[in-house]
A = this chain, B = another copy of it.
Amino acid sequence: MLKYALLGFLNYDNKTGYELKQTMDRSTNHFWHAKQSQIYQTLKRLEADGLVVSHPEHQESRPDRRVYAITDSGKKAMDAWLAKPVTALEPNKQLLLLKLFFSGGLGKETLLTQLRLLRKLHEQQLDLYNTESPDVIKQHGKSDPELSRDVMMWESTRRFGELHEKMYIDWLDETIGMIAAHF
């Protein structure tokens, strides 16, 4: 499904594989990410399928690069995907919950230490949503007032991340409390 992330970004601007990676790292990273290698592979497949086209670009003081652009066929595919409503919840895999599910045999202090470390990580993540993310959104929003609806969508996904981290921390506090009292 990286396919749609790439089409979505190319729908704004032409970009190289390298730039797409950077863009994703700065915007969709908390709900969609990809390795550089997968991006190049997927771009190749998209071009073979006619959803994007590319041309090499020579640069003076930097390595040459290959710039990708979305085609009409690519735009059509993207629109079709966006228009298709979600009719069932996609099940969500959480390795940490799987681990916890089977952790009844661990020692009390081992468990508490692990959960407290995890809490610290989620607090850091929450900070990121409150500082870094809004900057990225404002920066892109002000440069083009026609993007105000897009900015609303971006802000909504950022807000999800924030609420998710808050919920996660609340849950950890509850779980830590339960283990401290009854384990």
Contacts and interface: CB of A to CB of B under 8 A. Distances in A.
B163 A178 contact: no
Given A92-B30, A163-B170, A167-B164, A85 B4 contact: no
Nearest to A78: B102
B83 A106 contact: yes
A59 to B, nearest CB: 29
A96 B31 CA distance: 9
Given A114-B86, A152-B178, A167-B164, A31 B92 contact: yes
Interface residues of A, number: 69
Contacts of A5: 98
A48 interface: no
A75 to B, nearest CB: 10
State the 5 A-B residue pairs at the shortest beta-carbon distance, nearest first: A104-B150, A31-B97, A8-B102, A104-B149, A167-B167
Given A83-B110, A89-B121, 12 more contacts: A8-B102, A28-B101, A32-B97, A33-B93, A81-B99, A89-B122, A92-B92, A92-B94, A97-B157, A100-B153, A105-B150, A156-B175
Interface of A: 1, 4-5, 8, 11, 27-33, 78, 81-83, 85-106, 110, 113-114, 117-118, 121-122, 125, 147, 149-154, 156-157, 159-160, 163-164, 166-167, 170-171, 174-175, 178-179, 182-183
